[in-house]
Structure 1
Amino acid sequence: MSNRIAPDARRQALIEATVRALATHGAAGVSVRAIAKEANVSPGLLTHYFAGVDDLIAAAYVHVGDMVDHALNEAMDAAGEDPRARLSAYVVASFRPPVSNDALLATWLAFWSLVKSSPEIARLHGQIYAGYRVGIEDLVRRCAPGVDPRLTAIAITALVDGLWLEHGLDSSTFTPEEASAMAEKWLETLLGG
Protein backbone atom coordinates (compact mmCIF):
# COMPACT_ATOMS: atom_id res chain seq x y z
CA MET A 1 0.00 0.00 0.00
CA SER A 2 1.38 3.40 -1.00
CA ASN A 3 1.53 6.36 1.33
CA ARG A 4 1.60 8.80 -1.58
CA ILE A 5 -1.05 11.50 -1.60
CA ALA A 6 -3.17 11.89 -4.74
CA PRO A 7 -2.36 15.02 -6.77
CA ASP A 8 -5.74 16.67 -6.09
CA ALA A 9 -5.38 16.05 -2.36
CA ARG A 10 -1.79 17.40 -2.39
CA ARG A 11 -2.92 20.50 -4.28
CA GLN A 12 -5.75 21.05 -1.79
CA ALA A 13 -3.34 20.54 1.14
CA LEU A 14 -1.08 23.24 -0.30
CA ILE A 15 -4.05 25.63 -0.65
CA GLU A 16 -5.07 24.99 2.97
CA ALA A 17 -1.47 25.47 4.12
CA THR A 18 -1.43 28.80 2.29
CA VAL A 19 -4.61 29.87 4.10
CA ARG A 20 -2.96 29.01 7.44
CA ALA A 21 0.30 30.75 6.45
CA LEU A 22 -1.60 33.89 5.46
CA ALA A 23 -3.40 33.85 8.81
CA THR A 24 -0.10 33.45 10.66
CA HIS A 25 2.29 35.62 8.64
CA GLY A 26 0.07 37.99 6.65
CA ALA A 27 0.52 38.66 2.95
CA ALA A 28 3.98 40.18 3.40
CA GLY A 29 5.28 37.16 5.30
CA VAL A 30 4.05 34.44 2.97
CA SER A 31 6.71 32.77 0.89
CA VAL A 32 7.36 29.43 -0.77
CA ARG A 33 9.37 28.45 2.30
CA ALA A 34 6.61 29.49 4.78
CA ILE A 35 3.92 27.64 2.83
CA ALA A 36 6.09 24.54 2.38
CA LYS A 37 6.85 24.51 6.10
CA GLU A 38 3.14 24.86 6.94
CA ALA A 39 2.33 22.00 4.54
CA ASN A 40 5.27 19.94 5.75
CA VAL A 41 6.60 19.46 2.20
CA SER A 42 9.69 20.51 0.26
CA PRO A 43 9.55 23.95 -1.41
CA GLY A 44 9.98 22.30 -4.82
CA LEU A 45 6.67 20.50 -4.45
CA LEU A 46 4.82 23.82 -4.36
CA THR A 47 6.13 24.80 -7.80
CA HIS A 48 5.13 21.37 -9.12
CA TYR A 49 1.45 22.20 -8.49
CA PHE A 50 1.40 26.01 -8.81
CA ALA A 51 3.20 28.57 -10.97
CA GLY A 52 4.35 30.36 -7.82
CA VAL A 53 3.23 31.96 -4.58
CA ASP A 54 0.92 34.43 -6.33
CA ASP A 55 -0.89 31.59 -8.10
CA LEU A 56 -1.24 29.70 -4.82
CA ILE A 57 -2.53 32.77 -2.96
CA ALA A 58 -5.12 33.27 -5.71
CA ALA A 59 -6.23 29.64 -5.35
CA ALA A 60 -6.42 30.15 -1.58
CA TYR A 61 -8.62 33.24 -2.05
CA VAL A 62 -11.04 31.25 -4.22
CA HIS A 63 -11.02 28.44 -1.64
CA VAL A 64 -11.79 30.77 1.27
CA GLY A 65 -14.44 32.62 -0.74
CA ASP A 66 -16.09 29.29 -1.53
CA MET A 67 -15.97 28.25 2.15
CA VAL A 68 -17.67 31.48 3.24
CA ASP A 69 -20.23 31.22 0.44
CA HIS A 70 -21.01 27.63 1.44
CA ALA A 71 -21.51 28.57 5.11
CA LEU A 72 -23.77 31.50 4.23
CA ASN A 73 -25.79 29.41 1.77
CA GLU A 74 -26.25 26.65 4.37
CA ALA A 75 -27.61 29.22 6.83
CA MET A 76 -29.96 30.69 4.23
CA ASP A 77 -31.16 27.25 3.15
CA ALA A 78 -31.93 26.40 6.78
CA ALA A 79 -34.08 29.57 6.95
CA GLY A 80 -36.44 28.25 4.28
CA GLU A 81 -37.79 29.95 1.17
CA ASP A 82 -38.96 33.30 2.57
CA PRO A 83 -36.57 35.90 1.08
CA ARG A 84 -36.66 38.15 4.16
CA ALA A 85 -35.85 35.23 6.45
CA ARG A 86 -33.00 34.26 4.11
CA LEU A 87 -31.56 37.80 4.30
CA SER A 88 -31.68 37.66 8.07
CA ALA A 89 -29.99 34.26 8.05
CA TYR A 90 -27.23 35.67 5.82
CA VAL A 91 -26.62 38.49 8.29
CA VAL A 92 -26.69 36.30 11.41
CA ALA A 93 -24.40 33.67 9.85
CA SER A 94 -21.85 36.37 9.09
CA PHE A 95 -21.26 36.80 12.82
CA ARG A 96 -21.10 33.09 13.72
CA PRO A 97 -18.49 30.39 13.10
CA PRO A 98 -17.22 29.37 10.64
CA VAL A 99 -17.52 32.83 9.04
CA SER A 100 -16.59 34.67 12.22
CA ASN A 101 -13.30 33.40 13.61
CA ASP A 102 -9.83 34.82 14.21
CA ALA A 103 -8.03 32.70 11.60
CA LEU A 104 -10.50 33.66 8.87
CA LEU A 105 -10.21 37.32 9.83
CA ALA A 106 -6.41 37.22 9.57
CA THR A 107 -6.57 35.41 6.22
CA TRP A 108 -9.22 37.76 4.82
CA LEU A 109 -7.18 40.80 5.90
CA ALA A 110 -4.21 39.37 4.02
CA PHE A 111 -6.33 39.01 0.88
CA TRP A 112 -7.75 42.52 1.24
CA SER A 113 -4.23 43.91 1.63
CA LEU A 114 -3.36 42.48 -1.80
CA VAL A 115 -6.37 43.85 -3.70
CA LYS A 116 -4.61 47.13 -4.61
CA SER A 117 -1.24 45.58 -5.49
CA SER A 118 -2.21 42.36 -7.29
CA PRO A 119 -4.39 42.56 -10.41
CA GLU A 120 -5.28 38.86 -10.05
CA ILE A 121 -6.38 39.25 -6.43
CA ALA A 122 -8.32 42.39 -7.39
CA ARG A 123 -10.06 40.43 -10.15
CA LEU A 124 -10.88 37.58 -7.77
CA HIS A 125 -12.07 40.02 -5.11
CA GLY A 126 -14.48 41.57 -7.60
CA GLN A 127 -15.67 38.14 -8.73
CA ILE A 128 -16.17 36.79 -5.19
CA TYR A 129 -18.02 39.86 -3.95
CA ALA A 130 -20.13 40.04 -7.10
CA GLY A 131 -21.18 36.46 -6.41
CA TYR A 132 -22.27 37.38 -2.89
CA ARG A 133 -24.16 40.42 -4.14
CA VAL A 134 -26.03 38.57 -6.91
CA GLY A 135 -27.71 36.34 -4.35
CA ILE A 136 -28.52 39.27 -2.09
CA GLU A 137 -29.90 41.28 -5.02
CA ASP A 138 -32.27 38.43 -5.83
CA LEU A 139 -33.50 38.29 -2.23
CA VAL A 140 -33.96 42.09 -2.16
CA ARG A 141 -35.99 41.96 -5.40
CA ARG A 142 -38.21 39.29 -3.90
CA CYS A 143 -38.85 40.91 -0.52
CA ALA A 144 -38.73 44.63 -1.39
CA PRO A 145 -39.71 45.14 -5.05
CA GLY A 146 -39.57 48.94 -4.89
CA VAL A 147 -35.97 49.07 -3.65
CA ASP A 148 -32.88 49.29 -5.89
CA PRO A 149 -31.49 45.74 -5.52
CA ARG A 150 -27.94 46.56 -6.66
CA LEU A 151 -27.36 49.45 -4.28
CA THR A 152 -29.14 47.67 -1.44
CA ALA A 153 -26.96 44.57 -1.90
CA ILE A 154 -23.85 46.76 -1.87
CA ALA A 155 -25.06 48.44 1.32
CA ILE A 156 -25.82 45.10 3.01
CA THR A 157 -22.43 43.61 2.17
CA ALA A 158 -20.67 46.79 3.29
CA LEU A 159 -22.58 46.85 6.58
CA VAL A 160 -21.93 43.18 7.27
CA ASP A 161 -18.23 43.49 6.32
CA GLY A 162 -17.81 46.54 8.53
CA LEU A 163 -19.44 44.97 11.57
CA TRP A 164 -17.65 41.66 10.91
CA LEU A 165 -14.29 43.41 10.69
CA GLU A 166 -14.86 45.57 13.77
CA HIS A 167 -16.05 42.59 15.83
CA GLY A 168 -13.11 40.52 14.63
CA LEU A 169 -10.61 43.21 15.56
CA ASP A 170 -12.10 43.79 19.02
CA SER A 171 -14.82 41.39 20.13
CA SER A 172 -15.20 43.25 23.42
CA THR A 173 -16.89 46.15 21.59
CA PHE A 174 -20.13 44.29 20.84
CA THR A 175 -21.43 40.73 20.73
CA PRO A 176 -22.42 38.73 17.64
CA GLU A 177 -26.02 39.09 18.80
CA GLU A 178 -25.66 42.89 18.93
CA ALA A 179 -24.06 42.87 15.47
CA SER A 180 -26.96 40.83 14.14
CA ALA A 181 -29.48 43.18 15.80
CA MET A 182 -27.77 46.29 14.38
CA ALA A 183 -27.67 44.76 10.91
CA GLU A 184 -31.27 43.60 11.18
CA LYS A 185 -32.43 47.10 12.13
CA TRP A 186 -30.53 48.52 9.18
CA LEU A 187 -32.02 45.88 6.88
CA GLU A 188 -35.49 47.02 7.89
CA THR A 189 -34.58 50.59 6.97
CA LEU A 190 -32.96 49.60 3.68
CA LEU A 191 -35.90 47.43 2.69
CA GLY A 192 -38.43 50.09 3.57
CA GLY A 193 -39.93 48.17 6.50
Structure 2
Amino acid sequence: MSAKQSSFTREQPDDRRQSLVEACAHCLATLGVGNTSVRAICKEAGVSPGLLRHYFSGVDALIAATYRWTGQRVSFALDQAVEVAGNDPRTRLLAYLTASFRPPIASPELLATWLAFWSLTKTDALIAKQHAEIYADYRSDIERLIAEFRPDQKDARLAAVALTALVDGLWLELSLGSAPFTTDEAAALAEKWLDHLLD
Protein backbone atom coordinates (compact mmCIF):
# COMPACT_ATOMS: atom_id res chain seq x y z
CA MET A 1 0.00 0.00 0.00
CA SER A 2 1.36 3.44 -0.90
CA ALA A 3 1.86 6.24 1.64
CA LYS A 4 -0.95 8.18 -0.05
CA GLN A 5 -3.37 5.29 0.27
CA SER A 6 -2.35 4.76 3.89
CA SER A 7 -2.98 8.42 4.68
CA PHE A 8 -6.44 8.26 3.13
CA THR A 9 -7.30 5.20 5.24
CA ARG A 10 -6.33 7.06 8.42
CA GLU A 11 -8.31 10.16 7.51
CA GLN A 12 -11.46 8.40 6.40
CA PRO A 13 -12.80 7.58 9.91
CA ASP A 14 -12.40 11.25 10.88
CA ASP A 15 -14.39 12.24 7.79
CA ARG A 16 -17.18 9.86 8.74
CA ARG A 17 -17.23 11.14 12.30
CA GLN A 18 -17.33 14.72 11.06
CA SER A 19 -20.24 13.93 8.73
CA LEU A 20 -22.21 12.78 11.78
CA VAL A 21 -21.38 15.99 13.67
CA GLU A 22 -22.51 18.15 10.74
CA ALA A 23 -25.66 16.07 10.27
CA CYS A 24 -26.43 16.46 13.97
CA ALA A 25 -26.07 20.26 13.73
CA HIS A 26 -28.43 20.30 10.75
CA CYS A 27 -30.99 18.12 12.54
CA LEU A 28 -30.90 20.28 15.66
CA ALA A 29 -31.51 23.35 13.50
CA THR A 30 -34.30 21.89 11.40
CA LEU A 31 -35.95 19.32 13.68
CA GLY A 32 -35.24 20.62 17.17
CA VAL A 33 -33.85 18.71 20.13
CA GLY A 34 -36.89 16.48 20.56
CA ASN A 35 -36.73 15.07 17.04
CA THR A 36 -32.96 14.79 16.74
CA SER A 37 -32.64 11.02 17.00
CA VAL A 38 -30.13 8.41 15.89
CA ARG A 39 -32.36 7.60 12.94
CA ALA A 40 -32.77 11.25 11.88
CA ILE A 41 -29.05 12.02 12.16
CA CYS A 42 -27.99 8.91 10.26
CA LYS A 43 -30.54 9.57 7.54
CA GLU A 44 -29.17 13.10 7.15
CA ALA A 45 -25.58 11.82 7.07
CA GLY A 46 -26.47 8.94 4.74
CA VAL A 47 -25.02 6.28 7.06
CA SER A 48 -26.31 3.36 9.11
CA PRO A 49 -27.17 3.78 12.82
CA GLY A 50 -24.37 1.38 13.65
CA LEU A 51 -21.82 3.92 12.45
CA LEU A 52 -23.05 6.52 14.93
CA ARG A 53 -22.71 4.03 17.77
CA HIS A 54 -19.21 3.22 16.55
CA TYR A 55 -18.03 6.80 17.07
CA PHE A 56 -20.30 7.98 19.89
CA SER A 57 -21.88 6.36 22.93
CA GLY A 58 -25.23 7.83 21.90
CA VAL A 59 -27.05 10.94 20.75
CA ASP A 60 -26.12 12.91 23.88
CA ALA A 61 -22.41 12.38 23.25
CA LEU A 62 -22.83 13.37 19.60
CA ILE A 63 -24.74 16.54 20.55
CA ALA A 64 -21.94 17.45 22.97
CA ALA A 65 -19.36 16.94 20.21
CA THR A 66 -21.51 19.04 17.90
CA TYR A 67 -21.62 21.88 20.43
CA ARG A 68 -17.81 21.79 20.69
CA TRP A 69 -17.50 21.89 16.89
CA THR A 70 -20.04 24.72 16.57
CA GLY A 71 -18.23 26.73 19.23
CA GLN A 72 -14.94 26.20 17.41
CA ARG A 73 -16.47 27.41 14.14
CA VAL A 74 -17.68 30.61 15.81
CA SER A 75 -14.34 31.13 17.55
CA PHE A 76 -12.48 30.69 14.26
CA ALA A 77 -14.69 33.28 12.53
CA LEU A 78 -14.10 35.76 15.37
CA ASP A 79 -10.34 35.21 15.29
CA GLN A 80 -10.30 35.66 11.51
CA ALA A 81 -12.14 38.98 11.85
CA VAL A 82 -9.55 40.22 14.34
CA GLU A 83 -6.68 39.02 12.18
CA VAL A 84 -7.80 40.97 9.11
CA ALA A 85 -8.58 44.09 11.18
CA GLY A 86 -4.95 45.13 11.38
CA ASN A 87 -2.94 46.33 14.36
CA ASP A 88 -5.05 49.13 15.82
CA PRO A 89 -6.36 47.85 19.20
CA ARG A 90 -9.73 49.60 18.99
CA THR A 91 -10.32 48.35 15.46
CA ARG A 92 -9.41 44.80 16.52
CA LEU A 93 -11.83 44.91 19.45
CA LEU A 94 -14.65 46.25 17.28
CA ALA A 95 -13.91 43.60 14.65
CA TYR A 96 -14.32 40.90 17.28
CA LEU A 97 -17.62 42.33 18.51
CA THR A 98 -19.18 43.03 15.12
CA ALA A 99 -18.17 39.76 13.43
CA SER A 100 -21.27 38.23 15.03
CA PHE A 101 -23.48 40.46 12.88
CA ARG A 102 -22.37 38.91 9.58
CA PRO A 103 -22.20 35.39 8.13
CA PRO A 104 -21.11 32.82 9.00
CA ILE A 105 -22.09 33.75 12.57
CA ALA A 106 -25.25 35.68 11.73
CA SER A 107 -27.09 32.73 10.22
CA PRO A 108 -30.63 31.41 10.76
CA GLU A 109 -29.37 27.81 10.82
CA LEU A 110 -26.58 28.56 13.28
CA LEU A 111 -29.07 30.40 15.49
CA ALA A 112 -31.47 27.45 15.42
CA THR A 113 -28.65 25.07 16.34
CA TRP A 114 -27.43 27.39 19.09
CA LEU A 115 -30.92 27.70 20.55
CA ALA A 116 -31.09 23.91 20.73
CA PHE A 117 -27.88 23.90 22.75
CA TRP A 118 -29.20 26.64 25.04
CA SER A 119 -32.34 24.60 25.71
CA LEU A 120 -30.19 21.70 26.91
CA THR A 121 -28.09 23.65 29.40
CA LYS A 122 -30.63 23.10 32.19
CA THR A 123 -30.99 19.35 31.66
CA ASP A 124 -27.62 18.15 30.36
CA ALA A 125 -24.60 18.69 32.63
CA LEU A 126 -22.07 18.20 29.83
CA ILE A 127 -23.79 20.73 27.57
CA ALA A 128 -24.02 23.16 30.51
CA LYS A 129 -20.28 22.77 31.13
CA GLN A 130 -19.45 23.33 27.49
CA HIS A 131 -21.77 26.34 27.37
CA ALA A 132 -20.00 27.89 30.35
CA GLU A 133 -16.60 27.25 28.79
CA ILE A 134 -17.54 28.69 25.39
CA TYR A 135 -18.91 31.89 26.91
CA ALA A 136 -16.03 32.18 29.37
CA ASP A 137 -13.59 31.98 26.46
CA TYR A 138 -15.59 34.59 24.54
CA ARG A 139 -15.56 37.02 27.49
CA SER A 140 -11.88 36.32 28.09
CA ASP A 141 -11.09 37.24 24.50
CA ILE A 142 -13.00 40.50 24.89
CA GLU A 143 -11.13 41.26 28.12
CA ARG A 144 -7.81 40.60 26.39
CA LEU A 145 -8.74 42.92 23.51
CA ILE A 146 -9.90 45.58 25.97
CA ALA A 147 -6.55 45.32 27.76
CA GLU A 148 -4.77 45.88 24.44
CA PHE A 149 -6.94 48.93 23.76
CA ARG A 150 -7.14 50.37 27.28
CA PRO A 151 -4.39 48.88 29.49
CA ASP A 152 -5.56 51.00 32.45
CA GLN A 153 -9.21 49.87 32.24
CA LYS A 154 -10.25 48.93 35.78
CA ASP A 155 -13.35 46.86 35.15
CA ALA A 156 -12.72 44.97 31.94
CA ARG A 157 -14.57 41.91 33.28
CA LEU A 158 -17.92 43.68 33.68
CA ALA A 159 -17.40 45.54 30.41
CA ALA A 160 -16.94 42.16 28.72
CA VAL A 161 -20.13 40.87 30.36
CA ALA A 162 -22.09 43.89 29.14
CA LEU A 163 -20.68 43.70 25.62
CA THR A 164 -21.44 39.98 25.43
CA ALA A 165 -25.07 40.64 26.37
CA LEU A 166 -25.37 43.41 23.78
CA VAL A 167 -23.80 41.34 21.00
CA ASP A 168 -25.97 38.31 21.83
CA GLY A 169 -29.14 40.39 21.61
CA LEU A 170 -28.23 42.06 18.33
CA TRP A 171 -26.99 38.76 16.86
CA LEU A 172 -30.24 37.07 17.83
CA GLU A 173 -32.35 39.71 16.07
CA LEU A 174 -30.18 39.73 12.94
CA SER A 175 -30.12 35.93 12.71
CA LEU A 176 -33.90 35.74 12.97
CA GLY A 177 -34.00 37.73 9.75
CA SER A 178 -36.52 40.39 10.78
CA ALA A 179 -34.38 42.78 12.81
CA PRO A 180 -35.64 46.39 13.01
CA PHE A 181 -32.07 47.52 12.28
CA THR A 182 -29.35 46.85 9.73
CA THR A 183 -26.00 45.13 10.17
CA ASP A 184 -24.30 48.52 9.97
CA GLU A 185 -26.62 49.92 12.63
CA ALA A 186 -25.85 46.96 14.89
CA ALA A 187 -22.14 47.66 14.45
CA ALA A 188 -22.69 51.35 15.24
CA LEU A 189 -24.59 50.44 18.42
CA ALA A 190 -21.77 48.13 19.50
CA GLU A 191 -19.25 50.90 18.87
CA LYS A 192 -21.23 53.46 20.89
CA TRP A 193 -21.74 50.99 23.73
CA LEU A 194 -18.05 50.14 23.72
CA ASP A 195 -16.98 53.78 23.90
CA HIS A 196 -19.51 54.44 26.68
CA LEU A 197 -18.33 51.48 28.76
CA LEU A 198 -14.66 52.31 28.36
CA ASP A 199 -15.03 56.08 28.72
TM-score (norm 1): 0.94
SS of the residue corresponding to residue 6 of structure 1 reads helix
Q: CA-to-partner distance for each residue in 1:80-129, whole Å, 9 max, x for gaps?
A: 22221111101221101101111111111111111111110000001111
The answer for the alignment partner of 1:8 in structure 2 is 14
Match for residue 96 of structure 1 among 91, 102, 119 = 102
Equivalent in the alignment of 1:153: 160
Between structure 1 and structure 2, the one with the greater Rg is: 2
* Partners of 2:23 and 2:45 within 8 A in 1: yes
1:113 to 119, 125, 130: 119
In the alignment, what sits opposite 2:131?
125
SS at match of 1:171: coil
Q: Distance in 1 between matches of 2:82 and 2:179?
A: 27
Between the aligned partners of 1:130 and 1:146, the Cα distance in structure 2 is: 19
For residue 70 of structure 2, give the secondary structure of its aligned residue in structure 1. helix
Q: Does 1:28 align with 2:20?
A: no
Q: Gaps spanning 5+ residues in structure 1: where?
A: none
1:11-33 per-residue CA deviation (whole Å, 9 max, x = no partner) reads: 11110111111111111221111
91-100 or 142-151, which moves further after superposition?
142-151
Alpha-carbon separation, structure 2, partners of 1:186 and 1:157: 11
Tell me if 1:188 matches 2:195: yes
Deviant stretches of 4+, over 6 Å: none
Q: Is the 8 A contact 1:140 1:147 kept in 2?
A: no
Aligned residues: 191
Task: Tell me the equivalent position of 1:166.
Answer: 173
RMSD of aligned alpha carbons: 1.6
- How far 1:172 moved relative to its partner? 4.1
CA contact (8 A) 1:17 1:35 kept: yes
Higher deviation after alignment, 55-64 or 20-29: 20-29
| Distance in 1 (alpha carbons) for counterparts of 2:98 and 2:147 | 20
% identical aligned pairs: 57
Identify unmatched segments of 5+ residues in structure 2: none
Does the 8 Å CA contact 2:170/2:186 hold for their aligned counterparts? yes
